[in-house]
Structure 1
Amino acid sequence: MTIRIKHEGLAVPVSPIFTLYIADLLISHKNEKAVTINFRDPTYSADDGGYHPVEIRLENEGDGWRFCYITDFCYVGSGYVAELAKDLDFDFDTGVFQNLFGTYPIEQAIEMFQVWESNFVYYAIVSKVFTIQKSVD
């Protein structure tokens, strides 16, 4: 069975390879209402760096899945005071983009999303640096 992800008309264009990769992760959850996918580099730390954790949420609308948000996290601070914070947040539901500097209309994040997506696809598909966990609603 093919999983359809609605990507037409998004304010931030999503590439076919990214869409296919995410759709493949949803195959075993085709009857769920919503799925949140977490990508983690097990070695990522505030002191040593690594690949940022990413969370992607999609909701099933019956005729296809819709992106709700894509959030990339990073450590802010160092040592024992470091904490994970949103580094980049593409919120399709509210139409906003957030980074560490502020909140903007999502349309202003097209170039940023393209760079982020290209890197994510390479890390996830080619380098396979992430462990993946899915939770369903």
Structure 2
Amino acid sequence: MHRSPLPTTSFNKTALPISQALLDTLNNVLNKHTGLAEGRHIIHFSNKHYSAEHGGYHPIDIALKKDINNKYTILCITDLSFNGYPYPTLERDIEFDFTHATVFTRHSGFKNMTAPNTDKLYTLWESKFIANLAKGIYNPIKLRSP
């Protein structure tokens, strides 16, 4: 039995080297939600076992914008973690903000996306994320349209 491949979603180029593996992941999620309107959408990857008390795999938000030509732009990738004591809150740990060309890390603050080694930080982060996806760590994966 021959299966037809899923339609390929088209993405605009970004300032950092987004891998084909990540684009394929986004394509797979978006293809499960046909008829998405133009505008902003957020794909939320979470692990139901992550908690402030026990740690675990950080939730990830990937914000996208769909344009009039059905092409997507990756606006922001945010890695969230619990921080603070005695009442921890979910805050950004690492954020790649393509809209403002900045990178935020909890330990060093904001930097320009063109700062030295930013591409290496992104590549390291993404490779870990893709490996965790392959292991089935993120469940559920949800799409929100704010």
TM-score by length of 1: 0.89
Q: List aligned pairs for 1:1-137, cutoff 5 A.
A: 1-6=7-12, 8=13, 10-27=14-31, 28-33=33-38, 34-61=40-67, 62-78=69-85, 80-100=86-106, 101-108=108-115, 109-124=118-133, 126-130=134-138, 131-137=140-146
Runs of at least 4 residues off by over 3 Å: none
What secondary structure is seen at the aligned counterpart in 1 of 2:123? helix
Aligned partners of 1:58 and 1:66 also within 8 Å: yes
TM-score by length of 2: 0.84
Aligned partners of 1:46 and 1:77 also within 8 Å: no
Code of the aligned partner of 1:98: F
Q: By how many angstroms is 1:16 displaced?
A: 0.8
What secondary structure is seen at the aligned counterpart in 2 of 1:12? coil
Q: By how many angstroms is 1:63 displaced?
A: 4.8
RMSD: 1.5
What secondary structure is seen at the aligned counterpart in 2 of 1:107? coil
Unaligned runs of 5+ in 2: 1-6
Q: By how many angstroms is 1:76 displaced?
A: 1.1
User: How far, CA to CA, are the matches of 1:135 and 1:68 in structure 2?
Assistant: 14
1 or 2, which has the higher helix percentage?
1
Unaligned runs of 5+ in 1: none
Identity of aligned residues (%): 24
Deviation by residue 1:4-57 (Cα, 9 ceiling, x = unmatched): 122x3x221101111111111111245422321111111101121100010001
Larger radius of gyration: 2
